[in-house]
Structure 1
Amino acid sequence: MDAAVDKVRVVMADVGSRIGRIRDIQQRSQSDMLTIKSRISRIEDTDIAEAAIELQQAQIVYQAALSSASKGMQTSLVDFLR
C-alpha cells in the first residue's frame, strides 16, 4: 500500500511540474503575441509619404558621403603622383 501511495505522489509531482512548464510556456506565448502585435501595428501605421521622404534624405546623405570620399581620394592620388 505504501508503495502505491509513493507512486501516486511521484506521478502527482510530475504532473504538477508539467503544469508549471505549460503555464510558463503560455505566459511566454502571450508575451510574444503582444510583441508581434505591437510590431505589426508599428509597420501598418507607418506613413508611406514620410517613409519615402526619409529614404530620399538618407540616399542624398549617402551620395554626398560617397562624393566627398571620392574627391578626397582623388586629391591624395594626385598628390602622390607629383
Structure 2
Amino acid sequence: MSDLYRIDPAIRPSHRPRTRRRLLRALLWVLVVVGVTVNLVSNIAMAGDVTLVGLAGGVAGVAGIAGLIALAVAGRRS
C-alpha cells in the first residue's frame, strides 16, 4: 500500500544552495573588513590626519556595507 502523502523523489523539486550569492556575500565581508582595517591603520599611523589611503579604505568599507545591504534586500524579494 502506497502512502498518499509521500512525495515521490523523482518529482520533488531540487533545492540547490545559492553558491554564487554565498560567495558574493563572503567577498563583500572581506571587502568590508579590509577597508575598515586599512582605514584604521592609516588613521593610527598618521595620528588622525586624513590620507588618501585611509579615505580609499573608508570608501571600500562603505561600498562593501552598501553591497551587503543590497544583497540582503534582493534576497528578500526573490
Shorter chain as denominator, the TM-score bin is: 0.3 to 0.5
TM-score (normalised: structure 1): 0.39
Higher RCO (Cα < 8 Å, 6 or more apart): 2
User: Which has the greater radius of gyration?
Assistant: 1
TM-score (normalised: structure 2): 0.40
- The structure with the largest helix share of the pair is 1
